[in-house]
Amino acid sequence: MRIVVSCDLGTLGPGESEPILYNWHWHYSVPGLALWAILALAMVVPRANRTWQVLPILAPVLLANLVWLVVAWISGPVTSDRETLGMVVQSLTAGSALLWLLGHVIANYTPRQTMVLALSIALGVAVAGVISVTDVTRRTIALPMLLSFLLPALVLAYTGAAWMSRRTYRPARFLLLLAAWTVMLSALGMPLWFLLKSAVTGNWPTDLLPLMVVFLLAGSISGACVFLVSLSFVLVGLRSPLFRPRLFACLHLSSGPGPAGAALVAEVRRPG
């Protein structure tokens, strides 16, 4: 790309600047290319996913990104913030979809190993989302770094809701628990993230206590948004004959979705 600045300066100077050459790669025009590539591989590489039944899991991904485009268009933030916040939305949705697509693999481990593996996948998606931001500056990288606690909060919320649903599973109760855990973990995660950032940089604000209140509120709002993402996936997953057993198998819920569903859950947990 050749960039030339032109301005009619009259007799004060030349009307055009010296040309500046900038290497523009084609993938700069495809935001979140790494995330979409990972999602596509997860849909076609595992043999268990080579079926049309995986397609409904894309509905929450597309819906969340469409809602974000509408919100971004209405609010009209600056371009850099819109791109980076869009990357956060894409990472959250791609990370959620990836966990559902790999549920048949994650389910073949103990509850503790399942949580560690799911957290590793979520953090891997967070890293992929951060490196997808082409304009890496101190200001623009701060927003994608929110994924470092939002995605773990998403995973841990499933774990907490499942733990409290082990004895008695009811869909409405599970969703309420998922909402409570997501908001609580996100509300705690944002102040902790800020404290860790301040400790690393050594830049401590003077009005720390009011800031903690602000971050608790911001974390709660972020948690509510993350829950809406999780909710869309759960509503699709519970109606899917492919993903419903994976949910119960991954969360190690003893009360499966009926006798036939319990057999499907056992099939998911079968190695290989």
Residue-wise pLDDT tens digits, 155-165 = 999 999 999 98
pLDDT at 1 over 80: no
What's the pLDDT tens digit per position in 73-120?
887 655 556 777 788 888 899 999 999 999 999 988 888 999 999 999
User: What does the domain layout of the chain look like in residue ranges?
Assistant: 31-268
pLDDT, residue 163, reads 92
**Residue with the larger pLDDT of the pair 157 and 129:** 157
What's the pLDDT tens digit per position in 57-73?
999 999 998 998 888 88
* Distance between CA atoms of residues 88 and 40, nearest Å: 19
pLDDT, residue 132, reads 67
Full-model pTM:
0.81
Contact 248, 261 (CB under 8 A): yes
pLDDT, residue 194, reads 81
pLDDT, residue 191, reads 87
pLDDT at 263 over 70: no
* Distance between CA atoms of residues 122 and 149, nearest Å: 10
> Percent of the chain, pLDDT > 90?
40
